[in-house]
Structure 1
Amino acid sequence: MPTLEKDIEDYLVEFQEKVPKETQDTLCNAIKKLEESDCFNKALKVGNKIPEFSLSNQDRKVINIKDIVEKNKYTVLCFFEGSWSPYAILELLALQKIVSQLKIFNASLITLCPQTQDKSSYLKEKHSFTFDILYDKNNTISKEFGINYTLSDEVIAVYEKQKIDILEANRNGTYDLPLPGTYIVNKNYEIIYAFVDANHRKRCEPKTITDTIKKDIINKR
């Protein structure tokens, strides 16, 4: 069965064939520095409770996380950086494949992103996503989860050469982004699974999400 990890590996093969080694080295060094930093010690972990929040979705409808958590047995929250990221697109496409299974488990999938609502609306329509994309303006919620970081000048320069305009995407005057973060929350707002990685090329495998929920259901019988 195809996996998200395999999809990312296939993309990286093409990326490495097309992109100059100097550019690849710059991006790899930036990942290494982020991995070696201690700026994510405050990231929410299993056992922590998530904060209550309200954000508007891609259609500018206000979504209160309280309503989602209390309506479902499980809530899956996935932070991604924007539709400009090929890794994020691969992740979202993979997540769409488990939406129907999540419904069987009485679980809801919510994604959060700092990019503007018009971009998220286009993204959802283009790929026929059936989950909401909440507008995390100024990365307010990713900061509360402790998974926010700022792009280095070297990476910004690379992105600009690749015509990736973070300032235009987020329109908040910063180069702040969320790390890839996936959380499974129960009805008590408690995190029962957490995935955060300083390497933006690594993403939570959707099967891990469904397997975690299955296991939790079985343990509660």
Structure 2
Amino acid sequence: MSLRAELQALYADFVSRAPAHVAEAMSRSDLALSASGILDAALKAGDQAPDFLLPDARGGSGRLSRALASGPVVLSFYRGGWCPYCNLELRALQSALPDFTAAGATLMAVSPQKPDQSLTTVEKNGLAFPVLSDTGSRVARSFGIAFDLAEELRPIYTDFGQALPDRNGDDSWVLPIPATYVIDRDGVIAFAHVDVDYRNRLEPDTVIAILSALAGRKPA
């Protein structure tokens, strides 16, 4: 089953079970975010990716420029390990990791959650790539993809046990738009997939094709 099919099945199950007021609040939030202009501010193909240094889930760190020294980077921004759509995407990326590695690329995932929360995500999904903690969403802001969760959704998230201040270790309710960037060795973004609908994610096969195209245009 493709990642898209898994995501659609998950959403269909949610819709079948969600109380009407929850579904309506989420729909209003989706429309407001789409109208906010955030996609215009997000970094795109051809932009220079800002460097960063972030702690990883296992006590180390990940720096973009360091990873780029050995090849392109696939950079995935996700909301957190509490998000079932994110977990589906992370597992799909893990399945594609051998193909990314064969293409000479490094895979890195970034969320605003605390390192201990990231470690839980790593262990739950069996992830073998760097999972980094962007506490305070500094890096997400530098990529133009950070936003404040709608006020009416905050009590709903809290009732679900997903209060973002508890997950992320600060007082904000900031999340990144889920986004996948393929960054070439010179730090220029070769491909950007940014979608205000968190239920939509980029298929790993598309990433593999982009990495193959990058490799094909390099001199032998």
TM-score bracket, normalised by the shorter chain, equals over 0.9
Residue in 2 that maps onto 1:162: 160
| C-alpha deviation, 1:14, in angstroms | 1.1
Q: Which amino acid is the alignment partner of residue 44 of structure 2?
A: K
**TM-score, with structure 2 as normaliser:** 0.96
Matched, 1:107 2:94: no
Output the amino acid matched with 2:139: I
Deviation at 1:17?
Answer: 1.4
Residues 9-158 of structure 1 aligned to structure 2 (within 5 Å): 9-72=8-71, 74-158=72-156
CA distance in 2, matches of 1:58, 1:158: 28
Matched length: 219
Deviation at 1:128, TM superposition (A): 1.3
- For 2:213 and 2:173, how far apart are their aligned partners in 1? 38
Distance 1:126 1:201 in 2: 20
- In structure 2, the partner of 1:3 is 2
After TM superposition, what 4+ stretches of structure 1 lie above 6 angstroms from structure 2?
A: none
Identity of aligned residues (%): 26
Q: Which deviates more from structure 2 when the two are superposed, residues 154-163 or residues 180-189?
A: 154-163
What SS class does the counterpart of residue 6 from structure 2 fall into? helix
Deviations 1:1-30 (A, max 9, x none): x21110011111211111112211110111
Q: How far off is 1:85 after superposition?
A: 0.6
- Structure 2 distance, partners of 1:15, 1:171, is 27
Question: Following TM superposition, by how much is the alpha carbon of 1:98 offset from its aligned partner in structure 2, in angstroms?
Answer: 0.5
Superimposed CA distance per residue, residues 87-122 of structure 1 (whole angstroms, 9 cap, x where no aligned partner): 111110111110000111001100001100011112
Distance 2:125 2:7 in 1: 18
* Residue type of the alignment partner of 2:152: E
Q: How far does residue 217 in structure 1 lie from its aligned partner after superposition? A: 2.4
Q: Deviations over 1:55-108 (max 9, x none)?
A: 110122122221100112x10000011111111111101111100001110011
Aligned partners of 1:109 and 1:123: how far apart in 2? Answer: 16
**Root-mean-square deviation (Å):** 1.2
* Unmatched tracts of structure 2, length 5 or more: none
| Length-normalised TM-score, structure 1 | 0.95
Q: CA deviation at 1:136?
A: 0.6
Distance 2:185 2:218 in 1: 13
Gaps in structure 1 of 5+ consecutive residues: none
Q: Work out the CA distance in 2 between the residues paired with 1:65 and 1:116.
A: 19
User: Residues 186-215 of structure 1: CA distance to partner in whole angstroms, max 9, x if unpaired?
Assistant: 110010000111111111111111111122
Q: Which amino acid in structure 2 is aligned with residue 54 of structure 1?
A: L
> Quick check: 2:177–2:194 contact (8 Å CA) kept in 1?
yes
SS in 1 for 2:167: helix
Q: Displacement, 1:216?
A: 2.5
- More displaced 10-residue stretch of structure 1: 119-128 or 84-93: 119-128
